[in-house]
């Protein structure tokens, strides 16, 4: 791939997602992650802070995970955190993130120097993505979080949303 073309893809979040990441469709086939109408609308309108009140199955969590992946791979010192309401959901979100990461051709991605069942760490540029559970006793205290996604906020244990 031409260096100018590659640079333009890496700098453009939508191009990056649609060029390099795969996602499982409703038929469980891995297909290129092409933004749907709702995701594209959010992508073009989103600002610093967004609250999404949405119907189910529009793909917002998938879009946000892909967006976090782009940010963590292309912007040094970026800490992305996604919090889910329960352990099962946390595992599913991380599996989706990991599938997206693994779908990027090796020659176009940073290697994660550290991977666990809940995080990808790119030490070379000091960036990471962490997927956690709202039920954890302590989470994120003292950390600088650049991008935060609170998934299924209304299902968090009492008091955890405010915390």
What does the pLDDT average to over 114-127?
90
pLDDT at 70: 94
Higher-scoring residue by pLDDT: 95, 138: 95
Indicate the range of 6-15, 59-68, 121-130 predicted with least confidence.
Answer: 6-15
Phi-psi region of 86 (alpha: psi -120 to 50; beta: other; left: phi over 0): beta
Residue whose C-alpha is closest to residue 19's, from 108, 136, 142 = 108
What does the pLDDT average to over 72-100?
90
pLDDT averaged over every residue in the chain: 83
């Amino acid at each position: 791939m031409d260096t100018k073309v590659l640079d333009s893809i890496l700098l453009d979040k939508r191009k990056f997602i649609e060029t390099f990441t795969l996602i499982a469709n409703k038929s469980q086939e891995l297909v290129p992650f092409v933004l749907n109408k709702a995701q594209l609308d959010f992508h073009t309108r989103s600002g610093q802070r967004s609250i999404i009140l949405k119907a189910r199955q529009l793909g917002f969590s998938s879009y946000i995970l892909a967006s976090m992946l782009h940010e963590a791979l292309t912007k040094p010192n970026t800490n992305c955190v996604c919090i889910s309401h329960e352990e099962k959901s946390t595992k599913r979100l991380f599996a989706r993130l990991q599938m997206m990461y693994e779908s990027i051709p090796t020659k176009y991605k940073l290697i994660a120097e550290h991977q666990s069942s809940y995080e990808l760490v790119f030490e070379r540029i000091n960036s990471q993505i962490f997927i956690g559970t709202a039920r954890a006793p302590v989470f994120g205290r003292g950390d600088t979080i650049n991008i935060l996604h609170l998934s299924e906020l209304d299902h968090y244990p009492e008091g955890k949303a405010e915390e």
